[in-house]
Structures are given as C-alpha cells and as structure tokens.
Amino acid sequence: MAHPRLSLNQATIKHAPLEAALDRTRAAGIESIGLWREPVAEVGLARAARLLADSGLRFSSLCRGGFFTVADAAERRRSIDANRRAIEETGVLAGAGAPGSAAVLVLVAGGLPEGSRDLIGARARVRDALGELEPQARASGVTLAIEALHPMYASDRAVVSTLGQALDLAQPFPASSVGVVVDTFHIWWDPDVLTSIARAGAEGRIASYQVCDWATPLPADVLLARHYPGDGVIDFGSLTAAVEATGYTGDIEVELFNEQIWADDWAAVAARTASAFDAAVAPHLGARVPV
C-alpha cells in the first residue's frame, strides 16, 4: 500500500480517462486522487461523481479555476461564471469522495492580458474576482485555494508568484473559504518560504500541499518541467517539516507535468509516484492521517 496521505493528481497520468485514472490510482494502493475539470466534463458531473464514489477514493482537490486577469468585461464575466460552475463541481465531487475528502478548488490567477504590461491591474482583478466568488464558496462549503506559481509563469499563467502574495490576497476572507496551495515546484526558491508557510499555518489557510521536483535544464515548454519527488534539487525535508509543523493533516498531492511521464504506462506512473513519495516525502511526515 502507498502512504496513506499520498494523493495522485490526475494530471500526472494526463491522458488517462477518468475511469482509468481512478482504477490505476486504486490499483497502486493510493487512497486519494485530485481531479481535473476537463476529464470530469468528458463523462459529465453526475457520472464522474458516481465513478468517484464507486472507487472508494478520497477527493483531494479539483483543478482548476481562476484565470481572472482578463480586462474585457464580457470575457471577465465568462471567467467568473466558469468559476461559479467549478465551485459547484467541487462541492459535488467532495460529497462523492470517501470520508476525509476535501472540498478544495485550486485557483491559478491568470497572466497578463495580451498586449498588457499592467501587472498591478491584473493582480487587482484577481482580488476583485475573489470578492465576487467567496460568498458562493462559503455557502457551498468549498475552499478557494490560491496557487502561487513560479515567477517564470507571471506573464502567461499566474501574476501571483509567491506564497506571501497568495496569503495577502486571501487575508480579507475567512480561512475556511479562501486558502492557499503550498506547491514545492513553485515556491522552493523563495527565501521567505518557511516564514510564509508558518504564516499560512497560523492563519489556517493551507488548503493543499503539492509535491514535485525541479531539475535543470528546463524543457522548451517550461510548463512541462515537473519531476518525481527526489529526481531534482528541492529540499522536501525542510518544506514538509514546515508544513507538518502547522498542523496540516490533509492529503499531499503529486502533480506532474512532464511529457516523458505522460507517455509512460499509467500503472507504472502511479507505482513510481508512490515509491518516489515514500522515499522523498514520507520520511518527513508524522503519524497523522487525514481526518
């Protein structure tokens, strides 16, 4: 059996349809899965919820919402509406998962609109979108989890680049409805990362902990630069110990974007994910299990 707190993010076996992803996760002895909206939409939300319930797996998060930085009013409204649907989907899937499931919707802020250099304005639109969506999330029992992305993605994917920035955006709202994702790939370089993790814990805002590794050289498409834990330079000991010290007891997702991994056999990837987690992350975990 895999470590009881390991969750396989569905992106790690990107090309597996939902039913196959659930099957390979369970067969690898992994008890939890993080889902993506697109594979859920392919089968329909109702069927996806039934498949998840039948699998007996916990649900650790739904990826993804966000992309709030568009300046055009109509486009912005479409983005807000899409996120409202994502909140509903998160609630349904969390209700279908095994006990210990988390109603967490991961948010990627969005990059600069085409032709824009207004980074301050883009970040302000993220703040405004949270204000619009938070009441629905609170009423639905869903946590909006802001994910800071590495600064190399600031122009095209996320104008939120540090965990501290994510916490500042979350601060006006209850921790139960707006939290943050602690993702090792994106924050390992930050000289303030341990202080920010402690702050996130003190504020009760760690909604998800995601682990994967960083290695150079980066591929031409830097989105596809993630590696199995232990295959790069990230110090999982210090980061995991910092998260553990906050009292976070939830699932820990391995989310890999890597073309070579995507081309591998899905069952082999799930098994390798479990063994990499056991070697690089599990030694730094306490005896806690999800509650």
Domain containing residue 36: CATH number: 3.20.20.150
Which residues are within 8 A (CB) of 9 and not within 5 positions of it... i.e. 6 or more apart?
Answer: 33, 34, 60, 61, 63, 210, 253, 254, 255, 256
The single residue listed with the structure tokens 């050289």 is: 217
The whole-number average pLDDT for the span 265-286 is 97
Q: What are phi and psi of 62, to 5 degrees?
A: -120, 130
In a domain, 164, yes or no: yes
What digits encode the pLDDT tens for the residues 210-234?
A: 999 999 999 999 999 999 999 999 9
In a domain, 290, yes or no: no
Q: What is the pLDDT of residue 286?
A: 80
Residue span of the structural domain in which 243 resides:
6-284
In a domain, 157, yes or no: yes
The pTM score is 0.96
What digits encode the pLDDT tens for the residues 34-64?
A: 999 999 999 999 999 999 999 999 999 999 9
When the pLDDT of each residue in the chain is averaged and rounded to a whole number, the result is: 97
In a domain, 51, yes or no: yes
Exposure of 128 in the CB half-sphere (CA atoms within 13 A): 15
Q: What is the pLDDT of residue 240?
A: 98
Query: For the CA atoms of 188, 193, 198, 203, what is the dihedral angle to 10 degrees?
Result: -100
Give CA–CA dist 157/55, Å, rounded: 33
If one counts the domains in the chain, the total is 1
Say whether pLDDT at 24 is over 90: yes
